[in-house]
Amino acid sequence: MKYLDEYRDGRLARKIVREIEHIQTRPWVIMEVCGGQTHSIVKHGIDHLLPRGIELVHGPGCPVCVTSLELIDKAHTIARRPDVIFCSFGDMLRVPGSECDLFALKSRGAQVRVVYSPLDCLKIALANPESKVVFFAVGFETTAPANAMAVWEARRRGIKNFLLLTSHVLVPPAIAAILQSPQNRVQGFLGPGHVCVIQGSREYEAISSRFRVPIVITGFEPLDILEGTLMVVRLLESGTAEVQNQYVRAVRREGNRQAQELVQKVFEVGDRKWRGVGSIPKSGYKLRWEFRDHDAERAFDVKEIDTKEPAICISGQILKGIKKPHDCPAFGTQCTPQSPLGATMVSAEGACAAYYAYGRHLVKEPA
Amino acid sequence: MCLGIPGKVIERFEMYGLPMAKVQFGGICRQTCLAYVPDAAVGEYVVVHVGFAISKIDEEEAARTYQLLEQMDQLTELAAPDPDMGS
């Protein structure tokens, strides 16, 4: 496929690795922010291809993983109602709440549907005027424009039975939280390519200069990730803290203005609780007051649910790049994708689930 | 989750006042909203995320990245110390 296959060329990959070996003078710890990048790295074995001393640690960029258990339980309470058709992206269905997952609810008769796009929910709402159609709006900045458009269109076209259960998270506050942690090990970042397609690179320029850390906005294919890593190593070796763009074929410095404008009209920034990490100030979107009629949290009075995560789970430290899946005694034994104990095992893009999917629970990681 | 797939705009149309397109990914075609990339023309490539085009693919930049990667180890060889130059 065009723009995919050419970025999976093994011969070029080896060239980039040789170049990194050539310029590297000391060990570096680099974090890839996005779960899509984590998945690609583990799938293609990129971390094992890199020279010794270049360590990739996995970031918090999987929105399914970091959706709080409270909100998942809230979603399940709403999905159980007979007057609700509950719509979600497919990867949210297997995420366990305190009691079960959405698949289990569906098998017990709840109306749970997987959608490809949030706009599909408007069609479902029009076809089922007697039901309330609730969409579980999970995602980072990349997904916010699509969800904003669904709400905007629902209001414009008078589709009153469409509601959004919002669980939107933002990348820059999470990066700042990682860098402010006293245990931080991360020296440079592969920035999230598709988040920056929407947001542009300015927010990352602010982080880079505030924390004196290099950030290279990077794509998702193996050659993108290798080239991004090479660019970060070059910046680290020369002591330069700035933002560079590896993903030039899709990311512009100003981002996508049209998308930013609609997101601004529909959402406002608020505090958000991240599974495994805790509450981060101003790290999420919520619906603006003008769109309250489409807000599922207002429409259904769901009480705050008290939840507890298993004490053994170290997903919080994994999401911050302090630990890796193999550091956890439960990894691959008590904790598997079939019965996950915490954030990084619940979705395919979580670090633990990716390690498990590609057989890394069967081998000892090289020290 | 932030999956963005490159696809080719095959046909443009309008639906409920929104600009839409049929976008082809390998052998599969999907309906895609062009509200955020309204100037994407038939034949151009866009990055698609959850049914929305979020960016046009800059073909020149894509080609340039690839050329730079191709040339890279020639540069490394050039940067290696040259015994004849006594460095």
A274 pLDDT higher than 60? yes
Own/partner contacts of A17-20, CB < 8 Å, gap of 24 or more, are A17/A49, A17/A50, A17/A51, A17/A226, A18/B73, A18/B76, A19/A230, A19/B72, A19/B73, A19/B76, A20/A50, A20/A51, A20/A54, A20/A226, A20/A229, A20/A230, A20/A233
A272 pLDDT higher than 80? yes
Q: Among the listed ranges A124-128, A289-293, A301-305, B53-57, which one has the minimum average pLDDT value?
A: A301-305
* B59: closest chain A residue by CA: A249
C-alpha span between A123 and A127 (Å, rounded):
6
According to the model, what pLDDT value does residue A365 have?
Answer: 67
Whether A122 contacts A157, CB under 8 Å: yes
Identify the three-state secondary structure at position A334. coil
* A64: closest chain B residue by CA: B1
C-alpha span between B30 and A339 (Å, rounded):
34
Strand partners, A140: none
Instruction: Give 3-state DSSP helix, strand, coil % of chain B, rounded to 5.
Output: 30, 40, 30
Total Cβ atoms within 10 A of residue A212: 11
According to the model, what pLDDT value does residue A363 have?
Answer: 78
Chain B residues touching A118 at Cβ < 8 A: 50-51
C-alpha span between A191 and A70 (Å, rounded):
29
Mutate to test the interface with B, among A21, A88, A117 (most CBs of B within 10 A): A117
A359 vs A364, which has greater pLDDT? Answer: A359
From A367's Cα to the closest Cα of chain B, the distance in A is 29
* B32: closest chain A residue by CA: A117
C-alpha span between B77 and A128 (Å, rounded):
66
From B44's Cα to the closest Cα of chain A, the distance in A is 12
CB B52 to CB A153 under 8 A? no
| Chain CA centroid to CA A294, Å | 24
According to the model, what pLDDT value does residue B1 have?
Answer: 72
According to the model, what pLDDT value does residue A276 have?
Answer: 85
Of B16, B50, B72, the CB nearest to A146: B50
Partner B contacted by A119 (CB < 8 A): yes
C-alpha span between B39 and B41 (Å, rounded):
6
Phi-psi region of B57 (alpha: psi -120 to 50; beta: other; left: phi over 0): beta
From A265's Cα to the closest Cα of chain B, the distance in A is 14
Which strands sit side by side in the sheet containing A84-88, from one edge to the other?
Answer: A111-114, A84-88, A132-139, A162-169, A278-287, A267-274
DSSP A102-150: HHHHHHTT-EEEE-SSHHHHHHHHHH-TTSEEEEEEEE-TTTHHHHHHH
CB B51 to CB A248 under 8 A? no
Whether A151 contacts A263, CB under 8 Å: no
CB A194 to CB B73 under 8 A? no
Whether A8 contacts A223, CB under 8 Å: yes
- Three-state SS sequence of A156-208: HCCCCCEEEEEEEECHHHHHHHHHHCCCCCCCEEEEEHHHHHHHCCHHHHHHH
According to the model, what pLDDT value does residue A366 have?
Answer: 58
Mean residue pLDDT of chain A comes to 93
How many residues does this entry show for chain B? 87
DSSP A295: B
First to last CA, chain B: 51
> Counting one residue from A and one from B, how many pairs have CB atoms under 8 Å apart?
133
Q: How do residues A174-213 score in pLDDT, each as one tens digit? A: 999 999 999 999 999 999 999 999 999 999 999 999 999 9
Q: How do residues A302-357 score in pLDDT, each as one tens digit? A: 877 777 778 899 998 999 899 999 999 999 999 999 889 888 998 888 999 999 99
**Between β-strands B28-33 and B18-25, what pairing exists: parallel, antiparallel or unpaired?**
antiparallel
Q: Among the listed ranges A301-305, A339-343, B13-17, B37-41, which one has the minimum average pLDDT value?
A: A301-305
Whether A309 contacts A335, CB under 8 Å: no
Chain A residues touching B21 at Cβ < 8 A: none
Chain B residues touching A63 at Cβ < 8 A: 1-2
C-alpha span between A34 and B3 (Å, rounded):
10
CB A15 to CB B6 under 8 A? no
A89 pLDDT higher than 80? yes
AA letter at A159 = I
Partner B contacted by A35 (CB < 8 A): yes
How many residues does this entry show for chain A? 367
According to the model, what pLDDT value does residue A178 have?
Answer: 94
* B6: closest chain A residue by CA: A3
Q: Given pLDDT bands bounded at 50, 70 and 90, which one contains residue B2? A: confident
Whether B45 contacts B59, CB under 8 Å: yes
* B39: closest chain A residue by CA: A258
B84 pLDDT higher than 60? no
* A138: closest chain B residue by CA: B1
**b/e map A224-256, b = 16+ CB within 10 Å:** bbbbbbbbbbbbbeeeebebbbbbbbbbbeebb
Phi-psi region of A321 (alpha: psi -120 to 50; beta: other; left: phi over 0): left
According to the model, what pLDDT value does residue B79 have?
Answer: 52
A24 vs B26, which has greater pLDDT? Answer: A24
Work out the percent of chain A whose per-residue pLDDT is above 90: 81
Neighbour-count burial of A126, counting CB atoms closer than 10 A to its CB (0-12 exposed, 13-18 middle, 19+ buried): middle
A227 pLDDT higher than 80? yes
**b/e map B39-64, b = 16+ CB within 10 Å:** ebeeeebbbbbbbbbbbbbbeebbee
**pTM, full prediction:** 0.92
Partner B contacted by A11 (CB < 8 A): no
C-alpha span between A63 and A65 (Å, rounded):
5
Q: How do residues A16-41 score in pLDDT, each as one tens digit? A: 999 999 999 999 999 999 999 999 99
| Chain CA centroid to CA A324, Å | 17
Q: Which helix (H) or strand (E) segment is B79 a member of?
A: helix B59-79
Identify the three-state secondary structure at position A298. helix
| Complex-level ipTM | 0.93
DSSP A325: G
* A252: closest chain B residue by CA: B55
Across the range B50-78, mean pLDDT stands at 78
Partner B contacted by A158 (CB < 8 A): no
> Which residues 269-288 of chain A have a CB within 8 Å of chain B?
none
A367 pLDDT higher than 60? no
Chain B residues touching A1 at Cβ < 8 A: 6, 25-26
According to the model, what pLDDT value does residue B86 have?
Answer: 43
C-alpha span between A99 and A362 (Å, rounded):
29
A240 pLDDT higher than 80? yes
CB A15 to CB B8 under 8 A? no
Across the range B15-28, mean pLDDT stands at 94
From B71's Cα to the closest Cα of chain A, the distance in A is 10
